[in-house]
């Protein structure tokens, strides 16, 4: 009984110590660094009253550790679920559809899909198509060669019809077509090569990396469409980068130079990194100073707005 009373008395004293610590502090909710900063601004006579006990500091450290560890567990659980969902959908795509095709632009989300295809053993069953507009960053083509060697596959590269080099393109279509007529440029450099790729592949399913958080035009995107499958539709841009970090996925070198998304050199700009994970900001640097025929800002290159592309 005496021991129980002593323990109870100790518990009361500890509670009073912790209560006093928070009662005299400038703010009832604080981080250790912010508390120390606030404490240093008080007169020395008041600092002793506000200074937390060693016990309170140990409790704060334990709380910080608890928060950090459980947030880490939630992230790991989320990434595990997202990966399992993608593997399940891609497995179904391979088993249900003839000659599935995955078009990659080698941006972060596409790198995630490529890695999941490889990790799950599905890569040999999916044709990888790459559209070379002949206006891409040189680093993009270098990175394509790198990932081909890393994962052991060979992408089928499509270009504007009748063109093998930028010089061929300029001679046939003009070196300023993307300025004079952006719709015509998209058609010859992107849309026609894509449709040709899908047609020649005799595919029934086009796999691509579109996601809901890329902008309002894609906000209602589903994983499964009639002729398309978007395996990471419900991922966020931050999810992609957390997965890349966790799995050590190879990614485009220009991401480290400030580009959240990569397209043609003439219409792609850097975006401040602190804005990358805001809604729709992944593609904020794309299609700069370009407008649609109706005067609205351009957000799509045309390949995802073609109706029934597999029927063409």
Q: How many residues does the chain have?
A: 312
Cα–Cα separations (whole angstroms), residue 79 to 32, 76, 203, 273: 30, 5, 30, 22
- For every residue of 247-284, DSSP letters joined together read HT----GGGGGT-SS--BGGGB----GGGTTSTTGGGT
Contacts of 137 (CB under 8 A, 6+ apart): 254, 262, 265, 268
d(CA 12, CA 278): 47
d(CA 209, CA 132): 17
CA dihedral over 18, 20, 24, 28, signed as positive or negative: positive
Active site residue 25: no
Q: Which of 25, 163, 240, 301 is catalytic?
A: 301
Cα–Cα separations (whole angstroms), residue 145 to 126, 138, 194: 18, 11, 20
d(CA 116, CA 134): 28
Contact present, 60 and 21 (Cβ < 8 Å): no
The first and second tokens of residue 27, run together, are 């703010």
| Other CB atoms within 10 Å distance of the CB of residue 61 | 11
Contacts of 89 (CB under 8 A, 6+ apart): 223, 224, 229, 231
Q: Write out the catalytic residue numbers.
A: 301
């Amino acid at each position: 009984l005496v021991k129980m009373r002593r323990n109870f008395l100790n518990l009361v004293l500890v509670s009073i110590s912790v209560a006093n610590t928070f009662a005299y502090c400038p703010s009832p909710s604080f981080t250790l660094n912010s508390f120390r900063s606030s404490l240093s601004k008080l007169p020395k006579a008041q600092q002793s009253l506000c200074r937390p006990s060693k016990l309170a500091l140990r409790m704060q450290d334990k709380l910080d550790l608890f928060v950090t560890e459980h947030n880490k567990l939630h992230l790991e659980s989320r990434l595990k679920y997202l990966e399992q969902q993608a593997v399940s959908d891609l497995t179904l795509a391979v088993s249900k559809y003839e000659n599935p095709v995955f078009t990659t632009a080698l941006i972060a989300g596409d790198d995630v899909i490529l890695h999941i295809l490889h990790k799950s053993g599905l890569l040999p069953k999916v044709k990888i198509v790459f559209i070379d507009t002949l206006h891409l960053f040189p680093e993009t083509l270098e990175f394509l060669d790198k990932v081909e060697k890393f994962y052991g596959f060979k992408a089928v590269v499509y270009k504007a019809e009748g063109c093998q080099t930028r010089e061929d393109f300029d001679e046939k279509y003009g070196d300023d077509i993307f300025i004079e007529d952006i719709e015509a440029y998209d058609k010859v450099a992107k849309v026609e090569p894509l449709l040709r790729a899908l047609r020649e592949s005799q595919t029934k399913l086009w796999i691509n990396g579109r996601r809901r958080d890329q902008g309002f035009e894609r906000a209602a995107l589903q994983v499964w469409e009639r002729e398309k499958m978007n395996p990471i539709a419900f991922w966020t841009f931050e999810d992609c980068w957390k997965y890349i970090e966790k799995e050590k996925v190879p990614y485009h070198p220009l991401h480290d130079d400030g580009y959240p998304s990569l397209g043609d050199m003439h219409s792609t700009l850097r975006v401040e990194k602190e804005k990358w994970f805001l809604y729709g900001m992944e593609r904020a640097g794309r299609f700069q100073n370009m407008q649609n025929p109706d005067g609205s800002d351009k957000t799509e290159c045309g390949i995802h707005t073609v109706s029934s592309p597999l029927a063409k």
